[in-house]
A = this chain, B = another copy of it.
Amino acid sequence: MRFGVLGTGMVGEAIADKLAALGHEVKIGSRKAGGDKAKAWVAKAGRGASEGSFADTASFGAIVFHCTKGETALAALQAAGAANLKGKILVDVANPLDFSHGMPPRLLTAPGDSLGEQIQRAHPAAKVVKALNTVNAALMGQPQKLKSESDLYICGNDAGAKRTITELLQTFGWKTIHDLGDIRGARGTEAYLLFWLQLYGALGTPDFNTRVVRG
């Protein structure tokens, strides 16, 4: 399948690496086509890998991953173009963190809102699915790096889109993916980051995740 990955940072590279390793065609997108990082990734990833602008990338992908930072998300997706995202699954992996007041960061979004919802409102014809934002980039495509199984969370308004992404994440190695309902679930998984960052400080490593334990 053809995937577009918007963003060439650690998150974008981790997602693109995994998709390419699974044999998918992947275009990685930057604000401007032809950047050094994007070209280096294409050279590394080999057959089926390409790069381009955000618009090229959104147009290419049957499924599009948004992997730029929270503060650039809406601008990046505007550059990607609503027409290029229309009817497609748009997986938002970003967290709207505001570091401008020092540590610990705050959320950029207002109470009762989330980046996932902002993206869905800005792109009503896209099927926005929030996923993978609760783990470090290094784990996204390699959940088996942890000592034992851990869990992921997914939300979005379109049940079929969530099913498709759940199945895709299973090919990444994730086994337990909890469906938190419609895109408002992003309020929960984005707020979780404030907790995650403090646990990161306590554990001294970002290579951790949580596992739901039931009664």
Interface-side segment among A8-16, A79-87, A142-150 = A142-150
Report yes or no: B205 in contact with A214, Cβ–Cβ below 8 A.
Answer: yes
Q: State whether A147 touches B179 (Cβ < 8 A).
A: no
CA distance A181 to B198 in the complex (A): 8
Name the one of B104, B180, B195 contacting A198, with C-beta atoms under 8 angstroms.
Answer: B180
CB distance from A25 to the nearest CB of B (A): 31
A22 / chain B contacts, CB cutoff of 8 Å: none
A188 within 8 A of B: yes
Contact residues of A: prevailing secondary structure: mixed
CB of A111 closer than 8 Å to a CB of B: yes
**A76 vs B212: C-alpha distance when bound (angstroms):** 33
Q: For A44, what are the chain B residues with a Cβ–Cβ distance below 8 Å?
A: none
- Listed from nearest, the 5 A-B pairs whose CB atoms lie closest are A207-B215, A188-B198, A188-B195, A210-B210, A106-B111
What residues of chain A have their CB less than 8 Å away from a CB belonging to chain B? Answer: 98, 101, 104, 106-107, 111-112, 145-150, 153, 155, 178-181, 184-185, 187-189, 191-192, 194-199, 201-203, 205, 207-215
